[in-house]
Amino acid sequence: MIRIRFQACKPPIVAGALAALALAACSPSAPKPADAPKADDSAEAGYVGPPVVESVQRANGGLILSGHGAPEADVRLRSPAGETLSGRTDREGRWSLTVPNMEGVRLFGLSTTRAGRTVQAEGYVMVAEGGDVALLRAGAGAKRLASGSSSPRILTIDVDREGGAVVSGVAAPDAGLNVRVDRVTRGGGRTDDEGRFFISLTAALAPGGHDIQVAGEGGETAVSVVTSPPQPLVTGPVRAERTPQGWRVDWMTPGGGVQTTLLIGGPR
């Protein structure tokens, strides 16, 4: 079993069209961190945190997604096509739902409902054929269900129509990292406490082939990708195709734009 936590929304980390769409993907029911009630008065304030996905397990031709949300609440995964999977959280807020393994890539909205109040999770849960699961976030890098790594590993690259891009992955916790595109430094940052990094590039990623390298504490890694602006979606809210590097997913953001997420490699 692979375990990782999808956390609540954070402010946009890139400029341009991606940043403008970031807040639209966040749940209107989830306050900003500064406004979150304290633990001892959360019940009085009525605050209910958004549900999160924490793990995925492959079993019996499907994927068992598990996580937590409001205790003793109805939990639901629903796709734009109407596919719905429902369950209920236990007294501690834990839940699990089995998603059948199907061809291609599907997007689901995740929500919990308790006492008539529905709370939507951040972003969209992406489930790909073969068991790849990620949280797609408008205006930010995707969070992929993946195990940790002591050395840098690129997991996803997100690109908007203007070429604004975010390189995301895992490395050692609190590691300092730099990103180079075609041997030119284009950004830097540090991993969080869980070893995740989301580094926005300082210059637009032009269409075409690029060598992208992440290096710093713990080592370095590099991938070669081919990018192109996401095209309008005409047959639904998501379009996916396999590339030599992994899945390319063009998807509609809550603000009506289109964002491209490149998943590097197969399920981790």
Lowest-pLDDT choice from 43-52, 174-183, 229-238: 43-52
Token pair for residue 92?
A: 């501690």
Q: How much is the pLDDT for 255?
A: 86
Torsion of CA 42, 34, 193, 167, to 10 degrees: 120
Residue whose C-alpha is closest to residue 111's, from 134, 77, 145: 77
Residue whose C-alpha is closest to residue 214's, from 161, 264, 146, 145: 264
Q: How much is the pLDDT for 268?
A: 59
Q: What is the mean pLDDT of residues 84-109?
A: 94
The ranges assigned to domains in the chain are 2-34+49-136, 143-263
Strand partners, 91: none
Note the pLDDT tens digit of each residue in 121-162: 989 999 998 889 999 999 999 999 888 999 999 999 999 999
| pLDDT higher at 153 or 266 | 153
Strand partners, 223: 212
Residue 114 exposed, middle or buried by CB count within 10 Å (0-12, 13-18, 19+)? middle
Angstrom distance (rounded) from CA 191 to CA 198: 8
Q: How much is the pLDDT for 263?
A: 96
Residue indicated by tokens 């964002």: 259
Token pair for residue 151?
A: 């050395």
Q: How much is the pLDDT for 147?
A: 87
Q: How much is the pLDDT for 46?
A: 60
DSSP string, 209-262: EEEEEEEETTEEEEEEEEE-PPPPPSSSSEEEEEETTEEEEEEE-TTS-EEEEE
Q: How much is the pLDDT for 267?
A: 64
Give the right CATH number for 2-34+49-136 from 3.10.20.30, 2.60.15.10, 3.40.630.10, 2.60.40.10: 2.60.40.10
Q: Which residues contact 256 (CB under 8 A, 6 or more apart)?
A: none
| pLDDT higher at 9 or 117 | 117
Note the pLDDT tens digit of each residue in 218-228: 999 999 999 99
* Confidence bin at 14 (pLDDT 50/70/90): very low
Q: How much is the pLDDT for 169?
A: 97
Work out the number of other CB atoms within 10 angstroms of the CB of residue 43. 10
Is 112's pLDDT higher than 50? yes
CATH topology of domain 143-263: Immunoglobulin-like (2.60.40)
Q: How much is the pLDDT for 175?
A: 96
